[in-house]
């Protein structure tokens, strides 16, 4: 199907106008399921398209969902070489005294980073989270500053972290949309570490604890991420599932129980996978057109997308997409690599489902004096 769509999209050969892929009237898509979570969001990983949501920007307590950002900071430290999985961490009294969910570390003991990561991710250990935060930043307060810096970089506009665990604090807030952004970044940026979120249990100090994300047992397509619960936050769950090459991310916040958050997530996944499809239209870096470069050292310049273009659309409306590629009518050298020269737009009826800039894939330098004079004369007759 993807190859067919790619071929259809290339039916437009004009540099200024596209062609209609199909002229069938849009077919209605069923409404999303009614679930009880006061705030939730369901989106596609590749396209970022939101498929269903309720009050996704409402600020709520993250509870242990905050540990997703703790892990994101730690994974960056590992990638930058500032931390190693085999580094030994000495457990402080503060980490040892942490309440709530625990890995059951002992004060003064040295534990390798990888074991603490598993304790934090799989067992949701507050003690492990504090130990890692102290090891990286000296204390938990400074580590929270790193968390907020990364949150800002990821565009998490409704989020503020105070600690590494999600321990209740009136100033520690996030939203379903922001958590979805973080989950998407986690999967995209750190596939080598994301695997920890699919592990079902972890044994430390002769104590085996199961992953609190029970969907790992209920749905084989689910491969992460994290649960969270406090009396103020309610029951939260962010999960990702992949079926037939399509990955969805669901965040439900404030449900009444652990079973509720699981069932509501399953309902969202069932709806998304049943009624929507995600398609890669073009690959980033591929030349989609080579329009004329006036007054250039070369006759043409390759134009394409910096990143692959994905669209998520109702499966019943796949045949109703219209694609348009628009380029400047006249492209004159010099042109810088990455300079925007137009756009690709995909519509279903009046709704724009994808819009991406077309850029110069290479620099287009000016040609010699004689070539520029010739092109200048020809442009006067254009």
Write down the catalytic residue from 64, 129, 240, 267.
64
Question: One of 92, 124, 129, 240 is an active-site residue; which one?
Answer: 124
In the residue annotation, 240 being an active-site residue is answered as no
Residues in the chain: 382
308 is catalytic: no
DSSP letter assigned to residue 233: T
**3-state DSSP assignment of residue 375:** helix
Going from the C-alpha of 12 to that of each of 16, 20, 322, 344, 375, the distances in angstroms are 9, 8, 10, 11, 27
Residue 59 to residue 177: CA distance in whole angstroms:
10
Phi-psi group of 100: left, alpha or beta (phi > 0 → left; psi -120 to 50 → alpha; rest → beta): left
- 308 exposure class (CB count in 10 Å sphere: 0-12, 13-18, 19+): middle
Residue 299 has a pLDDT of 86
Residue with tokens 């934090």: 120
| Paired tokens of 38 | 């006061």
Give the residue among 149, 128, 132, 124 at the shortest CA–CA distance from 68: 124
Query: What is the CATH code for 2-26+283-380?
Result: 2.60.410.10
Distance, CA of 382 to CA of 376 (rounded, Å) = 10
CATH 3.40.710.10 fits 39-278, yes or no: yes
Query: Can 67 be counted among the known catalytic residues?
Result: yes
Could you give the 3-state DSSP secondary structure of residue 47?
A: coil
The whole-angstrom separation of Cα 224 and Cα 198 is: 5
Domain boundaries, the chain: 2-26+283-380, 39-278
Residue 13 is predicted with a pLDDT of 33
- The predicted model scores a pTM of 0.86
Given the residues 67, 181, 226, 295, select the one marked as catalytic. Answer: 67
- The owner of tokens 């949501």 is 53
Q: What is the pLDDT along the chain (382 residues), one digit of tens a residue?
A: 443 344 444 334 333 333 333 445 555 678 888 899 999 999 999 999 999 999 999 999 999 999 999 999 999 999 999 999 999 999 999 999 999 999 999 999 999 999 999 999 999 999 999 999 999 999 999 999 999 999 999 999 999 999 999 999 999 999 999 999 999 999 999 999 999 999 999 999 889 999 999 999 999 999 999 999 999 999 999 999 999 999 999 999 999 999 999 999 999 999 999 999 999 988 888 888 888 887 778 888 899 999 999 999 998 888 888 888 889 888 888 988 988 999 999 988 888 888 999 999 888 887 677 666 675 667 777 7
């Amino acid at each position: 199907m993807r190859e067919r769509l790619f071929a259809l999209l290339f039916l437009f050969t004009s540099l200024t106008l596209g062609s209609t892929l199909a002229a069938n009237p849009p077919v209605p898509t069923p409404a999303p399921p009614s679930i009880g979570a006061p705030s939730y969001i369901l989106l596609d990983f590749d396209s970022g398209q939101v498929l269903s949501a309720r009050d996704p920007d409402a600020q709520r307590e993250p509870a242990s969902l905050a540990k997703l950002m703790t892990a994101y900071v730690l994974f960056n430290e590992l990638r930058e070489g500032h931390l190693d999985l085999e580094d030994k961490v000495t457990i402080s009294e503060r980490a040892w005294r942490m309440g709530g969910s625990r890995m059951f570390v002992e004060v003064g003991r040295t534990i390798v980073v990888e074991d603490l990561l598993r304790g934090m991710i799989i067992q949701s250990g507050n003690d492990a989270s504090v130990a890692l935060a102290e090891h990286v930043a000296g204390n938990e307060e400074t580590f929270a500053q790193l968390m907020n810096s990364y949150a800002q970089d990821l565009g998490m506009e409704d989020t503020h972290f105070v600690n590494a665990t999600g321990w209740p604090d009136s100033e520690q807030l996030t939203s379903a949309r922001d958590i979805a952004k973080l989950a998407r970044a986690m999967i995209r940026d750190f596939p080598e570490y994301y695997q920890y979120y699919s592990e079902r249990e972890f044994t430390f100090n002769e104590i085996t604890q199961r992953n609190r994300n029970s969907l790992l047992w209920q749905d084989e397509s689910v491969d992460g991420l994290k649960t969270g619960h406090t009396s103020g936050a309610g029951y939260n769950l962010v999960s990702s599932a992949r079926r037939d090459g399509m990955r969805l991310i669901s965040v439900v916040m404030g449900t009444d129980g652990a079973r509720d958050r699981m069932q509501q997530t399953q309902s969202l996944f069932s709806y998304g996978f049943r009624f929507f499809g995600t398609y890669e239209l073009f690959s980033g870096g591929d030349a989609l057109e080579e329009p004329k470069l006036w007054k250039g050292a070369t006759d043409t310049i390759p134009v394409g997308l910096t990143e692959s273009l994905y669209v998520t659309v109702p499966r019943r409306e796949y045949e109703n997409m219209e694609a348009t590629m628009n380029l400047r009518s006249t492209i004159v050298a010099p042109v810088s690599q990455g300079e925007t020269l137009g756009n690709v737009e995909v519509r279903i009826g009046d709704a724009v489902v994808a819009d991406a800039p077309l850029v110069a894939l290479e620099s287009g330098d000016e040609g010699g004096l004689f070539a520029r004079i010739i092109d200048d004369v020809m442009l006067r007759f254009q």
